[in-house]
Copies of this chain bind each other. A is one copy, B any other.
């Protein structure tokens, strides 16, 4: 007998196993990379026969999609958490958020590569991945909004943005960042791409033999980026 609203034993076990499959897949992906992720290997480790996995995920791609969504959600959580501490204004928060993102990337390099590295060949991300991906970006956009609202980020600026760029920025503003002017959005995109570029360079080995103190380098870069963000001046 099952009380209304309560989950049945079967449903609970199902949820647990679904999670266990995802966890195992994530750990294996950390060893072999996303493109070599194998349903059979996951099944083996979970202790079931390979065909049984199909009760939980209809295909390998569906499992990959679940991992991608989880990765975005996990990163978004970390970034949101870092953004809640509002002391020190935009520059301080920017530094906290970007540090948190980098820390997450270092702790979960394969998850990072999965979502911000080269796309998995042969895999086409479905629309389900859009909202969790957006959640990450919203942290930065909210930061901009707060900065503009508090006046820390100067909202009136003579500099204009080329027409086609303005059109795109306007659409973004209407949807996600009301009151944030073009040039602030534009600077936001600058530092945002810069941050991911820096993390990718670090994680993918492009600063090897150049930078040795990665922590100091990242902090310095992001401090400059933060200054750029609020004032348009980097150093």
Residue numbers in B under 8 Å from A187 (CB-CB): 224, 234-235
| Residue A9 interfacial (CB < 8 Å) | no
Q: Can you name the residue of chain B whose Cβ is closest to the Cβ of A136? A: B206
Is chain A's binding surface mostly helix, strand, loop or mixed? helix
The answer on a CB contact under 8 Å between B117 and A217 is: no
The winner among A113, A163, A165 for most chain B CB atoms within 10 A is A165
Whether A213 touches B168, Cβ cut-off 8 Å, given contacts A117-B204, A194-B193, is yes
User: How many angstroms from the CA of A219 to the CA of B232 in the assembled complex?
Assistant: 18
Q: Are B35 and A205 in contact (CB under 8 A)?
A: no
Question: Is A98 located at the chain interface by the 8 A CB criterion?
Answer: no
State in angstroms the CA–CA spacing of A187 and B116 once bound together: 24
A235 touches B168 (CB 8 A): no
Interface stretch of the complex, out of A41-49, A50-58, A195-203: A195-203
| Chain copies in the assembled complex | 2
CA–CA, A163 and B225, complex, Å: 18
Interface size class of A (residues with CB under 8 A): 35 or more
Residue of A161, A165, A186, A190 ringed by the most chain B CB atoms within 10 A: A190
Distance of A200 from chain B, by nearest CB (Å): 7
B213 touches A165 (CB 8 A): yes
Is A39 an interface position by the 8 A CB rule? no
Q: In the complex, what distance in Å separates the CA atom of A197 from the CA atom of B202?
A: 12
**Which residues of chain B come closer than 8 Å to A220, judged between CB atoms?**
161-162, 165, 186
**Interface hits, A144-199 → B, CB 8 Å:** 157, 159, 161-165, 167-168, 172, 183, 186-187, 189-190, 192-198
Contacts A162-B216, A190-B194, A192-B197 known; 18 new A-B pairs at CB < 8 A: A33-B118, A35-B36, A35-B121, A116-B200, A116-B206, A118-B204, A157-B235, A164-B213, A168-B210, A186-B235, A187-B235, A196-B197, A196-B201, A228-B228, A228-B234, A232-B233, A232-B235, A234-B234
Q: Which 7 A-B pairs have the closest CB atoms?
A: A33-B121, A197-B197, A117-B118, A193-B197, A113-B118, A164-B213, A194-B194
